[in-house]
Amino acid sequence: MSLDPRVLLRSMFDAAVAAAQPDRCVPPFLPSRPKGRLIVLGAGKASAAMARAVERHWDGPVEGLVVTRYGYAVPTERIEIVEAAHPVPDAAGLRAAQRICDLAASAGADDTVLCLISGGGSALLTQPLDGIGLEDKQAINKALLASGAPISEMNCVRRHLSAVKGGRLAALAHPAKVVTLLISDVPGDNPIDIASGPTVGDPTTSADALAIVRRYRMDLPVAAKALLEAGGGETVKPDDPRLSRNETHIVAAPQASLEAAAAVARDAGFAVHILGDALEGEARDVGAVIGGIAGQVARHGQPFTAPCVLLSGGETTVTLRGNGRGGRNVEFLLSLGLHLGRAPNIWALAGDTDGVDGVEEIAGGFLAPDSLSRAWALGINPQAALDNNDGHGFFGALGDAVVTGPTLTNVNDFRAILIA
Protein backbone atom coordinates (compact mmCIF):
# COMPACT_ATOMS: atom_id res chain seq x y z
CA MET A 1 0.00 0.00 0.00
CA SER A 2 1.26 3.49 -0.80
CA LEU A 3 0.24 5.05 2.52
CA ASP A 4 2.26 4.10 5.62
CA PRO A 5 -0.11 2.06 7.83
CA ARG A 6 1.41 3.58 10.96
CA VAL A 7 0.66 7.09 9.75
CA LEU A 8 -2.91 6.24 8.78
CA LEU A 9 -3.69 4.41 12.03
CA ARG A 10 -2.21 7.20 14.15
CA SER A 11 -4.19 9.79 12.16
CA MET A 12 -7.36 7.83 12.90
CA PHE A 13 -6.54 7.68 16.61
CA ASP A 14 -5.81 11.41 16.70
CA ALA A 15 -9.14 12.13 14.97
CA ALA A 16 -10.97 10.05 17.57
CA VAL A 17 -9.35 12.03 20.37
CA ALA A 18 -10.01 15.37 18.67
CA ALA A 19 -13.72 14.57 18.30
CA ALA A 20 -14.04 14.38 22.09
CA GLN A 21 -12.18 17.57 22.97
CA PRO A 22 -14.15 19.69 25.47
CA ASP A 23 -13.74 22.92 23.50
CA ARG A 24 -15.71 21.24 20.73
CA CYS A 25 -18.37 19.34 22.66
CA VAL A 26 -19.10 21.37 25.83
CA PRO A 27 -20.31 24.79 24.53
CA PRO A 28 -23.57 23.58 22.86
CA PHE A 29 -24.80 22.23 26.21
CA LEU A 30 -24.11 25.16 28.53
CA PRO A 31 -27.20 26.14 30.59
CA SER A 32 -28.97 29.48 30.52
CA ARG A 33 -27.92 32.11 33.05
CA PRO A 34 -29.46 31.56 36.49
CA LYS A 35 -30.83 34.23 38.80
CA GLY A 36 -28.14 33.31 41.29
CA ARG A 37 -24.68 31.82 40.95
CA LEU A 38 -23.25 29.41 38.40
CA ILE A 39 -21.18 26.96 40.46
CA VAL A 40 -18.98 24.63 38.42
CA LEU A 41 -18.00 21.31 40.00
CA GLY A 42 -16.27 18.45 38.27
CA ALA A 43 -14.13 15.35 38.35
CA GLY A 44 -12.34 13.26 35.75
CA LYS A 45 -9.48 13.26 33.31
CA ALA A 46 -11.30 15.71 31.03
CA SER A 47 -12.75 17.91 33.78
CA ALA A 48 -10.04 20.59 33.70
CA ALA A 49 -10.34 21.02 29.93
CA MET A 50 -14.14 21.06 30.33
CA ALA A 51 -13.82 23.82 32.93
CA ARG A 52 -11.61 25.81 30.58
CA ALA A 53 -14.23 25.40 27.84
CA VAL A 54 -16.88 26.77 30.21
CA GLU A 55 -14.75 29.84 30.97
CA ARG A 56 -14.14 30.46 27.28
CA HIS A 57 -17.80 30.23 26.28
CA TRP A 58 -19.81 31.32 29.35
CA ASP A 59 -20.97 34.95 29.27
CA GLY A 60 -21.54 35.54 32.97
CA PRO A 61 -19.86 35.21 36.38
CA VAL A 62 -18.73 31.72 37.32
CA GLU A 63 -16.97 30.04 40.23
CA GLY A 64 -16.11 26.49 41.18
CA LEU A 65 -13.66 23.64 41.60
CA VAL A 66 -12.81 20.53 39.60
CA VAL A 67 -10.38 17.70 40.31
CA THR A 68 -8.39 15.99 37.57
CA ARG A 69 -5.49 13.57 37.22
CA TYR A 70 -1.92 14.67 37.90
CA GLY A 71 -0.59 16.26 34.72
CA TYR A 72 -4.04 17.03 33.30
CA ALA A 73 -4.56 20.55 34.69
CA VAL A 74 -4.90 23.49 32.30
CA PRO A 75 -4.77 27.23 33.00
CA THR A 76 -8.08 28.75 34.17
CA GLU A 77 -8.99 32.11 35.68
CA ARG A 78 -12.13 31.60 37.78
CA ILE A 79 -12.60 27.85 38.21
CA GLU A 80 -10.01 26.25 40.47
CA ILE A 81 -8.25 23.12 39.20
CA VAL A 82 -6.91 20.55 41.67
CA GLU A 83 -4.84 17.52 40.69
CA ALA A 84 -5.02 14.13 42.41
CA ALA A 85 -4.06 10.51 41.86
CA HIS A 86 -5.62 8.01 39.46
CA PRO A 87 -6.42 5.09 39.38
CA VAL A 88 -5.67 4.64 43.10
CA PRO A 89 -6.93 7.68 45.08
CA ASP A 90 -4.79 9.81 47.37
CA ALA A 91 -5.20 12.46 50.07
CA ALA A 92 -5.35 15.29 47.49
CA GLY A 93 -8.43 13.68 45.93
CA LEU A 94 -9.99 13.24 49.35
CA ARG A 95 -9.52 16.93 50.21
CA ALA A 96 -10.82 18.05 46.81
CA ALA A 97 -13.92 15.88 47.15
CA GLN A 98 -14.74 17.38 50.53
CA ARG A 99 -14.42 20.90 49.15
CA ILE A 100 -16.61 19.98 46.17
CA CYS A 101 -19.23 18.60 48.53
CA ASP A 102 -19.10 21.81 50.58
CA LEU A 103 -19.60 23.93 47.46
CA ALA A 104 -22.54 21.79 46.38
CA ALA A 105 -24.15 22.12 49.80
CA SER A 106 -23.77 25.94 49.62
CA ALA A 107 -26.02 26.20 46.54
CA GLY A 108 -29.43 27.82 46.86
CA ALA A 109 -32.66 27.55 44.91
CA ASP A 110 -31.68 30.38 42.51
CA ASP A 111 -28.28 28.85 41.73
CA THR A 112 -27.28 26.40 39.00
CA VAL A 113 -24.66 23.78 39.74
CA LEU A 114 -22.89 22.76 36.53
CA CYS A 115 -21.20 19.38 36.99
CA LEU A 116 -18.46 18.40 34.54
CA ILE A 117 -17.95 14.65 34.78
CA SER A 118 -15.69 12.35 32.77
CA GLY A 119 -13.89 9.05 33.05
CA GLY A 120 -11.49 8.77 35.95
CA GLY A 121 -13.85 10.60 38.28
CA SER A 122 -14.48 7.50 40.39
CA ALA A 123 -10.94 7.57 41.76
CA LEU A 124 -10.48 11.34 41.70
CA LEU A 125 -13.71 12.17 43.55
CA THR A 126 -12.92 10.24 46.72
CA GLN A 127 -15.16 10.69 49.75
CA PRO A 128 -15.72 7.35 51.50
CA LEU A 129 -18.61 6.68 53.86
CA ASP A 130 -18.06 6.93 57.61
CA GLY A 131 -15.95 4.10 58.93
CA ILE A 132 -13.92 3.73 55.73
CA GLY A 133 -10.54 5.48 55.67
CA LEU A 134 -8.32 6.54 52.78
CA GLU A 135 -6.17 3.42 53.09
CA ASP A 136 -9.34 1.32 52.92
CA LYS A 137 -10.43 3.23 49.83
CA GLN A 138 -7.05 2.63 48.18
CA ALA A 139 -7.29 -1.08 48.96
CA ILE A 140 -10.83 -1.17 47.54
CA ASN A 141 -9.70 0.36 44.25
CA LYS A 142 -6.77 -2.02 43.95
CA ALA A 143 -9.07 -4.99 44.57
CA LEU A 144 -11.52 -3.75 41.96
CA LEU A 145 -8.83 -3.17 39.34
CA ALA A 146 -7.41 -6.66 39.84
CA SER A 147 -10.78 -8.44 39.89
CA GLY A 148 -11.51 -8.69 36.17
CA ALA A 149 -15.04 -7.34 36.75
CA PRO A 150 -16.56 -5.13 34.02
CA ILE A 151 -16.66 -1.42 34.71
CA SER A 152 -20.41 -1.38 35.42
CA GLU A 153 -19.96 -3.87 38.26
CA MET A 154 -16.87 -2.16 39.64
CA ASN A 155 -18.75 1.13 39.74
CA CYS A 156 -21.73 -0.48 41.48
CA VAL A 157 -19.40 -1.43 44.35
CA ARG A 158 -17.82 2.03 44.38
CA ARG A 159 -21.21 3.78 44.59
CA HIS A 160 -22.20 1.87 47.71
CA LEU A 161 -18.99 2.72 49.55
CA SER A 162 -18.94 6.43 48.70
CA ALA A 163 -20.39 9.57 50.27
CA VAL A 164 -20.43 11.43 46.95
CA LYS A 165 -21.23 8.92 44.18
CA GLY A 166 -24.57 7.36 43.26
CA GLY A 167 -26.48 10.66 43.15
CA ARG A 168 -25.21 11.93 46.48
CA LEU A 169 -23.47 15.02 45.05
CA ALA A 170 -26.68 16.19 43.35
CA ALA A 171 -28.66 15.54 46.53
CA LEU A 172 -26.24 17.79 48.41
CA ALA A 173 -26.92 20.60 45.92
CA HIS A 174 -30.71 20.47 46.38
CA PRO A 175 -32.71 22.75 45.93
CA ALA A 176 -30.40 24.20 43.27
CA LYS A 177 -30.78 23.21 39.62
CA VAL A 178 -28.11 20.65 38.67
CA VAL A 179 -26.92 20.36 35.07
CA THR A 180 -24.47 17.54 34.38
CA LEU A 181 -22.32 17.38 31.25
CA LEU A 182 -20.79 13.95 30.69
CA ILE A 183 -17.94 12.74 28.52
CA SER A 184 -18.66 9.03 28.38
CA ASP A 185 -15.91 6.47 28.82
CA VAL A 186 -18.16 3.49 29.55
CA PRO A 187 -19.74 0.85 27.31
CA GLY A 188 -23.37 1.74 26.69
CA ASP A 189 -22.94 5.37 27.86
CA ASN A 190 -25.06 4.80 30.97
CA PRO A 191 -24.72 8.00 33.08
CA ILE A 192 -24.73 6.03 36.35
CA ASP A 193 -21.47 4.35 35.29
CA ILE A 194 -19.59 7.49 34.23
CA ALA A 195 -17.43 8.31 37.28
CA SER A 196 -19.92 6.17 39.25
CA GLY A 197 -22.73 8.68 38.75
CA PRO A 198 -22.26 11.38 41.42
CA THR A 199 -25.28 13.32 40.13
CA VAL A 200 -27.43 10.46 38.82
CA GLY A 201 -30.01 8.38 40.68
CA ASP A 202 -28.86 4.79 41.23
CA PRO A 203 -31.28 1.86 40.83
CA THR A 204 -28.82 -0.70 42.28
CA THR A 205 -28.62 -1.70 45.94
CA SER A 206 -26.05 -2.58 48.57
CA ALA A 207 -27.11 -6.20 48.10
CA ASP A 208 -26.20 -5.94 44.41
CA ALA A 209 -22.78 -4.58 45.33
CA LEU A 210 -22.20 -7.33 47.88
CA ALA A 211 -23.13 -9.99 45.33
CA ILE A 212 -20.51 -8.57 42.94
CA VAL A 213 -17.86 -8.63 45.67
CA ARG A 214 -18.62 -12.28 46.36
CA ARG A 215 -18.84 -13.26 42.69
CA TYR A 216 -15.33 -12.02 41.95
CA ARG A 217 -13.96 -12.95 45.38
CA MET A 218 -12.74 -9.41 45.95
CA ASP A 219 -10.54 -8.99 48.99
CA LEU A 220 -12.11 -5.86 50.48
CA PRO A 221 -11.14 -4.27 53.81
CA VAL A 222 -13.16 -5.53 56.77
CA ALA A 223 -14.92 -2.16 57.27
CA ALA A 224 -16.04 -1.99 53.63
CA LYS A 225 -17.39 -5.52 53.58
CA ALA A 226 -19.21 -5.00 56.88
CA LEU A 227 -20.85 -1.85 55.56
CA LEU A 228 -22.17 -3.67 52.49
CA GLU A 229 -23.39 -6.60 54.56
CA ALA A 230 -25.28 -4.22 56.84
CA GLY A 231 -26.84 -2.39 53.87
CA GLY A 232 -25.47 0.88 55.17
CA GLY A 233 -24.26 2.27 51.87
CA GLU A 234 -27.56 2.80 50.09
CA THR A 235 -27.45 5.33 47.30
CA VAL A 236 -29.87 8.04 46.12
CA LYS A 237 -32.58 6.46 43.98
CA PRO A 238 -33.84 7.82 40.62
CA ASP A 239 -37.22 8.92 42.05
CA ASP A 240 -35.70 10.86 44.93
CA PRO A 241 -37.31 14.36 45.00
CA ARG A 242 -33.88 15.93 45.57
CA LEU A 243 -33.06 15.03 41.95
CA SER A 244 -36.19 16.62 40.48
CA ARG A 245 -34.34 19.64 39.04
CA ASN A 246 -31.58 17.61 37.39
CA GLU A 247 -30.58 17.68 33.72
CA THR A 248 -28.02 15.27 32.26
CA HIS A 249 -26.37 15.52 28.84
CA ILE A 250 -23.78 13.25 27.23
CA VAL A 251 -21.63 15.67 25.25
CA ALA A 252 -19.05 13.19 23.88
CA ALA A 253 -19.13 9.42 23.52
CA PRO A 254 -17.14 6.57 21.95
CA GLN A 255 -19.37 6.18 18.88
CA ALA A 256 -18.78 9.76 17.72
CA SER A 257 -15.03 9.29 18.05
CA LEU A 258 -15.13 6.04 16.08
CA GLU A 259 -17.08 7.83 13.34
CA ALA A 260 -14.43 10.57 13.22
CA ALA A 261 -11.72 7.92 12.78
CA ALA A 262 -13.82 6.18 10.14
CA ALA A 263 -13.96 9.39 8.11
CA VAL A 264 -10.14 9.52 8.02
CA ALA A 265 -9.94 5.91 6.79
CA ARG A 266 -12.58 6.45 4.11
CA ASP A 267 -10.73 9.52 2.86
CA ALA A 268 -7.71 7.24 2.42
CA GLY A 269 -9.76 4.83 0.31
CA PHE A 270 -10.66 2.15 2.84
CA ALA A 271 -14.04 0.65 3.56
CA VAL A 272 -14.77 0.90 7.30
CA HIS A 273 -16.70 -1.46 9.55
CA ILE A 274 -17.45 -0.43 13.14
CA LEU A 275 -17.75 -3.65 15.13
CA GLY A 276 -19.16 -1.89 18.20
CA ASP A 277 -18.54 1.03 20.53
CA ALA A 278 -19.21 -0.95 23.72
CA LEU A 279 -17.13 -4.13 23.57
CA GLU A 280 -16.32 -5.61 26.96
CA GLY A 281 -14.64 -8.74 28.30
CA GLU A 282 -11.11 -9.91 28.99
CA ALA A 283 -8.72 -7.96 26.77
CA ARG A 284 -6.94 -11.12 25.62
CA ASP A 285 -10.28 -12.75 24.73
CA VAL A 286 -11.43 -9.74 22.73
CA GLY A 287 -8.06 -9.80 20.95
CA ALA A 288 -8.56 -13.45 20.03
CA VAL A 289 -12.09 -12.87 18.68
CA ILE A 290 -11.20 -9.81 16.61
CA GLY A 291 -8.06 -11.60 15.43
CA GLY A 292 -10.28 -14.38 14.15
CA ILE A 293 -12.47 -11.89 12.28
CA ALA A 294 -9.47 -10.08 10.76
CA GLY A 295 -7.91 -13.37 9.68
CA GLN A 296 -11.16 -14.45 8.02
CA VAL A 297 -11.33 -11.18 6.09
CA ALA A 298 -7.69 -11.44 4.97
CA ARG A 299 -7.90 -15.11 3.91
CA HIS A 300 -11.43 -15.45 2.55
CA GLY A 301 -12.87 -11.97 2.02
CA GLN A 302 -15.63 -12.69 4.54
CA PRO A 303 -17.62 -11.18 6.16
CA PHE A 304 -15.95 -8.07 4.69
CA THR A 305 -13.81 -7.47 1.63
CA ALA A 306 -10.28 -6.09 1.92
CA PRO A 307 -8.93 -3.46 1.85
CA CYS A 308 -10.83 -2.35 4.92
CA VAL A 309 -10.53 -1.09 8.46
CA LEU A 310 -12.21 -2.69 11.49
CA LEU A 311 -12.94 -0.26 14.31
CA SER A 312 -14.18 -0.88 17.85
CA GLY A 313 -14.40 0.83 21.22
CA GLY A 314 -15.58 0.06 24.73
CA GLU A 315 -13.67 -1.02 27.80
CA THR A 316 -12.03 -4.39 28.22
CA THR A 317 -10.64 -5.71 31.49
CA VAL A 318 -7.47 -7.45 32.58
CA THR A 319 -7.33 -10.12 35.25
CA LEU A 320 -3.85 -9.83 36.72
CA ARG A 321 -1.90 -13.06 36.37
CA GLY A 322 1.69 -11.83 36.22
CA ASN A 323 3.73 -8.84 37.32
CA GLY A 324 4.50 -7.18 33.99
CA ARG A 325 3.71 -3.66 32.83
CA GLY A 326 0.13 -4.24 31.83
CA GLY A 327 -2.62 -2.19 30.23
CA ARG A 328 -5.79 -3.49 28.62
CA ASN A 329 -5.13 -2.03 25.17
CA VAL A 330 -1.64 -3.45 24.81
CA GLU A 331 -2.90 -6.75 26.26
CA PHE A 332 -5.59 -6.81 23.55
CA LEU A 333 -3.00 -5.97 20.91
CA LEU A 334 -0.55 -8.66 22.02
CA SER A 335 -3.32 -11.27 22.02
CA LEU A 336 -4.43 -10.07 18.58
CA GLY A 337 -0.89 -10.50 17.27
CA LEU A 338 -0.59 -14.02 18.67
CA HIS A 339 -3.82 -15.06 16.98
CA LEU A 340 -2.88 -13.47 13.66
CA GLY A 341 0.63 -14.95 13.71
CA ARG A 342 2.61 -13.68 10.74
CA ALA A 343 -0.46 -12.84 8.65
CA PRO A 344 0.70 -10.37 5.99
CA ASN A 345 -1.02 -7.08 5.28
CA ILE A 346 -2.64 -6.64 8.71
CA TRP A 347 -1.69 -3.76 10.99
CA ALA A 348 -3.36 -2.52 14.14
CA LEU A 349 -3.35 0.24 16.73
CA ALA A 350 -5.02 0.06 20.12
CA GLY A 351 -4.94 2.82 22.71
CA ASP A 352 -6.81 4.57 25.47
CA THR A 353 -8.11 7.95 24.34
CA ASP A 354 -7.04 9.52 27.65
CA GLY A 355 -3.39 8.77 26.86
CA VAL A 356 -2.96 6.34 29.77
CA ASP A 357 -3.31 2.59 29.28
CA GLY A 358 -3.41 1.04 32.74
CA VAL A 359 -1.13 3.08 34.97
CA GLU A 360 1.54 3.83 32.36
CA GLU A 361 1.90 7.24 30.70
CA ILE A 362 1.55 5.36 27.41
CA ALA A 363 -1.66 5.33 25.38
CA GLY A 364 -1.20 1.95 23.73
CA GLY A 365 0.73 0.27 20.96
CA PHE A 366 1.12 -0.48 17.28
CA LEU A 367 1.11 -4.00 15.78
CA ALA A 368 2.68 -4.86 12.42
CA PRO A 369 2.88 -8.13 10.44
CA ASP A 370 6.48 -8.59 11.60
CA SER A 371 5.98 -7.68 15.28
CA LEU A 372 6.23 -11.26 16.56
CA SER A 373 9.32 -12.10 14.50
CA ARG A 374 11.03 -8.89 15.66
CA ALA A 375 10.22 -9.81 19.25
CA TRP A 376 11.72 -13.28 18.89
CA ALA A 377 14.84 -11.70 17.35
CA LEU A 378 15.19 -9.68 20.56
CA GLY A 379 14.79 -12.80 22.70
CA ILE A 380 11.22 -11.91 23.74
CA ASN A 381 8.65 -14.70 23.87
CA PRO A 382 5.30 -13.09 22.92
CA GLN A 383 3.18 -15.70 24.70
CA ALA A 384 5.27 -15.35 27.85
CA ALA A 385 4.81 -11.58 27.67
CA LEU A 386 1.03 -12.03 27.49
CA ASP A 387 1.04 -14.55 30.33
CA ASN A 388 2.94 -12.00 32.45
CA ASN A 389 0.57 -9.12 31.56
CA ASP A 390 3.56 -7.33 30.02
CA GLY A 391 2.09 -5.62 26.99
CA HIS A 392 3.88 -2.34 27.62
CA GLY A 393 7.20 -4.12 28.02
CA PHE A 394 6.61 -5.99 24.75
CA PHE A 395 5.69 -3.01 22.57
CA GLY A 396 8.18 -0.73 24.28
CA ALA A 397 11.02 -3.11 23.40
CA LEU A 398 9.91 -3.05 19.74
CA GLY A 399 9.74 0.74 19.68
CA ASP A 400 6.03 0.48 18.96
CA ALA A 401 4.51 2.18 21.99
CA VAL A 402 1.97 4.92 21.22
CA VAL A 403 2.65 7.94 23.44
CA THR A 404 0.41 11.01 23.33
CA GLY A 405 0.85 12.76 26.67
CA PRO A 406 -2.32 14.02 28.41
CA THR A 407 -5.11 14.20 25.82
CA LEU A 408 -7.47 16.12 28.18
CA THR A 409 -10.40 13.89 27.27
CA ASN A 410 -11.50 10.27 27.70
CA VAL A 411 -13.89 8.20 25.60
CA ASN A 412 -12.07 4.99 26.49
CA ASP A 413 -10.57 2.30 24.30
CA PHE A 414 -9.87 2.76 20.59
CA ARG A 415 -9.02 -0.21 18.39
CA ALA A 416 -8.31 -0.11 14.65
CA ILE A 417 -7.26 -3.06 12.47
CA LEU A 418 -6.16 -2.21 8.93
CA ILE A 419 -6.36 -5.04 6.38
CA ALA A 420 -4.63 -4.09 3.13
Is the pLDDT reported for residue 2 higher than 70?
no
Counting other chains too, the contacts that 372-377 makes at CB distance below 8 Å and 24 or more residues apart are 372/337, 372/338, 372/341, 372/342, 373/342, 374/398
Q: For residue 222, which amino acid is it?
A: V
Is the pLDDT reported for residue 1 higher than 60?
no
Q: In what order do the strands lie in the sheet with 413-419?
A: 271-279, 308-314, 413-419, 346-352, 364-367, 401-402
Give per-residue pLDDT as tens, 37-74.
999 999 999 999 999 999 999 999 999 999 999 999 99
Percent of the chain with pLDDT over 70: 100
Q: Which domains does the chain have, with CATH numbers?
A: 5-16+255-419 (3.40.1480.10), 22-127+162-201+236-252 (3.40.50.10180)
Q: How confident is the model at residue 343 (pLDDT cuts 50, 70, 90)?
A: confident
Q: Residue 309: which of 325, 320, 297 has the closest Cα?
A: 297
Is the pLDDT reported for residue 24 higher than 80?
yes
What is the CB-side half-sphere exposure of residue 252 using CA atoms within 13 A? 30
Round to whole Å and give the CA distance between 6 and 51.
34
Helix ranges (H only) for 108-150 are: 121-124, 134-147
Give per-residue pLDDT as tens, 101-126.
999 999 999 999 999 999 999 999 99
Instruction: State the average pLDDT over residues 265-283.
Output: 96
**Strand (E) positions, 288-345?**
308-314
DSSP label at residue 162: B
